[in-house]
Amino acid sequence: METRRWTNHSHPQTLQIGVMLLYLGAVFGVVFGNIYSQQFGVGLGLLASIGLGAAGFGIANDQRWGYNLGVALTGLALVPFAMIIVSDGVGELFNANLLMAMIFPIARFALLVHPMSRDYQRIWFS
């Protein structure tokens, strides 16, 4: 019997927390909007939020497409922040609003591309 799960406790801690942050980003994106909806419109923002949730579910079920989708969507979320810093200068790093908005995407990206997470998905995911 094949089981589907929302979390997988056999994953390394970095991957488990990354999955939780993907789910959190999906919920916050639907409820409050996200960087995608601010840059590209509400429709793509909602689609990206659904993608974050799907990526978390895929990772929890040992699917390589879920991992790739999570890394891609999280990497795309960092692009607008990099553009703001490049256009407005490094002084924008001291802007509290920008820092608060950057915390979760940076943490999510760092956890997903951590060597322990990458090695686990390379070996065990199908």
Q: Is the pLDDT of residue 70 over 80?
A: yes
Crossing angle for the helix pair 64-88 and 13-32, nearest 10 degrees? 60
Under a CB-based contact definition with an 8 Å cutoff, are residues 53 and 23 in contact? yes
Torsion of CA 85, 88, 92, 95, to 10 degrees: -120
> pLDDT digit string (tens) for 19-36?
999 999 999 888 887 777
Is the pLDDT score of 1 beyond 70?
no
Q: What is the rounded average pLDDT for all residues in the chain? A: 89
31, 49 in Cβ contact below 8 A? Answer: no
